[in-house]
Amino acid sequence: MKIAVIYYSRTGKTKKIAEELALVFRAETARVVDKKDRKGIIGYFKAAKDAFLKKEVEIESLSLNPRDYDLIFIGTPVWANGVTPAIRTYLKHAKIKNKKIGLFCTTHISGTDTSFKEMISLLEGNQIVAKIGFTAFDLRNFNSVKERLKELKEQIIKE
Ligand SMILES: Cc1cc2nc3c(=O)[nH]c(=O)nc-3n(C[C@H](O)[C@H](O)[C@H](O)COP(=O)(O)O)c2cc1C
């Protein structure tokens, strides 16, 4: 089974989960890059505005083609209780169909369910096999994150 992990990350938390998923599932990773500068406090406020308005943004083309994979993990930080503009844009244009999909997100505290709902609505025609959310509290104990991902692998891939 060919597996990919596609994610956006502004400050590295979602990237850390993506990299661990890639290790556990022996998957390839691709980072969705938002062409807008999101750094620093100004970047934060612009991000909040774009997230609140549910905007699409310009993104760089991805380093892998989702058609080449059987199972695709897609991850985003929660922004304004929804997905990031970069992941929204990617999902709207990627035309992913007939795939097994694992969703993951990181959040300070809230918005996991609403983000998954939005991602699912952008992924019609696929089979959602997992939804995993990590709060800032969860991320403080990375060993338990690793355990959750190993358990997930046992659930998804019957070896
Ligand atoms: C613009 C913006 C909006 C956010 N909105 C929320 C939110 O609605 N709820 C929440 O709990 N955390 C929110 N956060 C916090 C992020 O979801 C959290 O820090 C996430 O783990 C960051 O992931 P990253 O390091 O991969 O960028 C927001 C962060 C940003 C930058």
Domains and CATH numbers, the chain: 3-156 (3.40.50.360)
> pLDDT value at position 64?
96
Q: Given this model, what pLDDT does residue 100 score?
A: 97
Q: Which ligand 1 atom is at minimum distance from the Cα of 7?
A: 26
| Closest ligand 1 atom to Cα of 48 | 1
Sheet strand arrangement including 127-135: 28-31, 3-7, 71-77, 100-107, 127-135
Burial classification of residue 91, based on how many CB atoms lie within 10 Å of its CB (0-12 exposed, 13-18 middle, 19 or more buried) = buried
Q: Cα 111 from chain centroid?
A: 13
pLDDT reported for residue 157: 81
Contact predicate 26/55, CB 8 Å: no
Dihedral, CA atoms, 62, 21, 51, 81, nearest 10 degrees? Answer: 160
Residue nearest atom 28 in ligand 1 by C-alpha distance: 79
Mean pLDDT per 10-residue section of the chain, whose length is 159 residues: 97 98 98 96 96 96 96 98 98 96 98 98 97 97 96 85
pTM above 0.85, yes or no: yes
Residues 106, 74 contacting (CB under 8 angstroms): no
Give the atom of ligand 1 at the shortest distance from the alpha carbon of 135.
Answer: 21
- Nearest CA owner, ligand 1 atom 29: 79
CB–CB of 78/110 below 8 Å?
A: yes
